Amino acid sequence: MEKILVTGAAGFIGFHLCQQLLQQHYQVIGLDNLNDYYDVSLKRDRLQHLQQHPKFEFHQLELGDRATTSAFFAAQSIDKVAHMAAQAGVRYSIENPHAYVNSNVVGFLNVLEGCRHSKIDHLVYASSSSIYGNNREMPFAVEQNVDHPVSLYAATKKSNELMAHTYSHLYNLPTTGLRFFTVYGPWGRPDMAPMLFAKAICEGKPIKVFNHGDMRRDFTYVGDIVRGVVQTLESYPKPLSQGSQLMPGNSTAPYRVYNIGNGKPIGLLDFIELLELALGKVAHKELLPMQPGDVKETYADISGLQEAVGFEPQTPIEVGIPAFVDWYCNYYGIKKDGANNSLEDLGCNRI
């Protein structure tokens, strides 16, 4: 039985990934530092679910600590690593830059070193659609230039891809980076739009709608994301032959980068309407200008991952949003009102 290490196991995506791996009968070691970037009780509740499974083992560890991380890898027998841990959040990176360098750069280096010395079969790590910055060519494709990030968070994620390539080249370490596009779903992060919006709508408070609502996101359901991560873990990156044309995302080393998203972006106001319908409540919108570090639109070209591992998103947002709302209301003990009504019944307006 393969043993897979999942970093960030108490986080949103890491939690769902652990569940998926356990369902597929892998043995899973979870790592997390349980920091207080958001409500630690939510992280502990996720862990409580995972720890009910006999093939799950948890360690609390700070990946930015070189000695502790090195000792952990040396003491384990791990086949593959899914590195989902990171200091997340675009806006938070503007106020707390050192947290991002310590977690996303130093921590990632320590993971790479652990994988190298432990001769890990395959490292799959979370990159981000944020690295495309203000790229105006749609959809975002791995072959495009990503030299102009607009947030430190994005810069740290691009650095991860460069660092991974170096280790793939120098030490023949198979690495695959996945650029996630706006992941949402049950057990989501409280700092992300779905949770922020749902909370404000339920409390009758205004929601902050940036760029006056003129934004589009490639919202991707978390269940689709984790299936894609597992498919990627099971498929090793193959080096290009010498003389082949090198492009961003491939290499003569065992290294690849792919987009992983829904491939069908929707408008922010449409997203809010679906939340209103699922909650049975009207959203009061506070229209604001674009925030520093944010981008107007994201749209993933997922053809590379489709061809490589057969990835296909299966959850339309009309299904994913109600699933998120059902979990949200159940977890926080909120009663939905008139959730089967139409927008007209609720008196919703686009603005």
- CA dist 271 and 267 (Å) reads 6
Q: Look-up: residue for tokens 């995506």? A: 13
Count of positions (residues) in the chain:
351
Q: Are strands 175-180 and 122-128 parallel, antiparallel or unpaired?
A: parallel
Q: Look-up: residue for tokens 């760029």? A: 211
**Packing angle of the helix pair 193-203, 317-332 (nearest 10 deg):** 60
153 is catalytic: yes
Q: Which of 92, 132, 153, 167 is catalytic?
A: 153
Residue 258's contacts (CB-CB under 8 Å, 6 or more residues apart) are 142, 176, 177, 178, 179, 232, 249, 302, 304, 305, 308
Q: Which residues are catalytic?
A: 153
